[in-house]
Chains A and B, each alone.
Chain A
Amino acid sequence: MALVEIRDVHKTFGKVEVLKGVSLDVEEGEIVTIIGRSGSGKSTLLRCINALESVDSGEIRVEGQKVHAGMPDLKKFRQRVGIVFQAFNLFPHLKVERNITLAPLLTGRIEKAKARALAEDVLTRVGLADKIDAWPEQLSGGQQQRVAIARCLAMAPHLMLFDEVTSALDPELVGEVLKVMEAMAKQGMTMILVTHEMGFARNVADRIVFMHQGRVWEQGPPAKLFANPETPELASFIASAK
């Protein structure tokens, strides 16, 4: 059984059908990168996987459990699925440590005495142990995004979703975030990313999924997909992304 099973998912916003029957499996430990033009439905699909949006028809299962906004143990489910956003979304009124430990403490995952050690541990993994007492506003965009990743890691998720996490960053800050993600990939984390970073997609992903007009248009291992795109849409997308 795949960790994530997506079956014929449809999603409409108003009159616009954003997802037109998407099916996709993601195995445990796999790194799947979703690429495609703006409006192809990539981010919506990602948001459906942790029930930030509910699907109109079809179904999504994570670890065998059907996902939807009204699911009975939505909170428990979201503790197992981390998501990192384009805009970081750190809590501005909490220091880095508290940003990280708030959810583990409130959900009873850890005791108060162990909170700081947990924050130190996950911050070390993103290379920011020295920023534990900083305010989010005192950090650069790249650092804020790494704290956001650390905040997710503190919940020990089984699956991590990344929604264009480098798109809001200055070019010179993109590398540090990608490096952290690459390290997570090597440690066996299951990851689904929406990204415009073709270099990362090519070098780190196990599989590329090209979405076009609300459908999975083409998918496969990066080497094959980038070298020999089967569809003209993917070929022109790759050409334009270079």
Chain B
Amino acid sequence: MNFLPLWRYQNQLIDGAIVTLELTVISALAGLVIGIAGAVALKGRVTPLRWLVRGYIELFRNTPSLIQIFIVFFVLPSFGLKLPAFEAAAVALSLYFGAYSVEIIRAGLDSIPRSQVEAGQCLGLSGWQVFRHIILPPALRNAYPAVTSQFVLLLLGTSLASQVAADELFHVAGFIESRTYRSFEVYAVICAVYFAMAMSFKALFAIIGLAAFRWPRRR
């Protein structure tokens, strides 16, 4: 075992880790927006829209995300939409994360009792105000643990983007391995990096959760 040959690739590893972080955060934020919008649509009255969202969820939750990335990167260009590797992976992973987020956030919205909505309506608030100020904050709190664990799955899943040659951590590892022939060492290092990133996010989310959701739980 010899880790020394990897030392000269430290800048590539750092760059790869940064790209992984960017890919994760961008996909998570976009996916979260999809998740909230999709959950609202699922609870809405427009039937074709509900079908559309339902179809989207089933499609993305029941197919390999690697193929989803391939489709965006290799197939969409023949329909005139040509995206670079990073962007293609970000689009595919956003849709993937969004599909899970819709279900998680819908469950969060469903957990808010009807009486809360009525209380808001009875104070003369509009539908949007009731949603924004009365339903959404406690719904997000209830959805938060599931969203954060899904986020960690997304972080690990970004390694799939290596298959379309996006310059993220796993792709960098392959490159270093091909130069050094030190397979075990390379993958041990990036495994540790993924682990450290995942644990750091968990700690960060715990702190954010404490700061954002300060009201006491129902006894």
Chain A positions near chain B (C-beta within 8 angstroms):
50, 52, 75-79, 81-83, 85, 87, 89-95, 102-103, 106-107, 135, 137-138, 151-152, 155
Contacts and interface: CB of A to CB of B under 8 A. Distances in A.
B123 A78 contact: yes
Contacts of A93: 137-138, 141, 213, 215
Interface stretch (B30-38, B114-122, B157-165): B114-122
Contacts of A94: 215
Most chain A CB neighbours (cut-off 10 Å) among B120, B124, B141, B215: B124
B141 to A, nearest CB: 7
A172 B14 CA distance: 65
Nearest to A148: B119
Interface of B: 115-116, 118-126, 129, 133-134, 137-138, 141, 213, 215-219
Contacts of B133: 91, 102, 106
Contacts of A75: 124-126
Contacts of A77: 124
18 contacts: A52-B122, A75-B124, A75-B126, A79-B123, A87-B115, A89-B115, A89-B116, A89-B119, A90-B119, A93-B141, A95-B215, A102-B123, A102-B125, A106-B133, A107-B124, A137-B218, A137-B219, A152-B123
Contacts of B218: 92, 137
A52 B129 CA distance: 17
Most chain A CB neighbours (cut-off 10 Å) among B122, B125, B217, B218: B122
Contacts of A102: 123, 125, 133
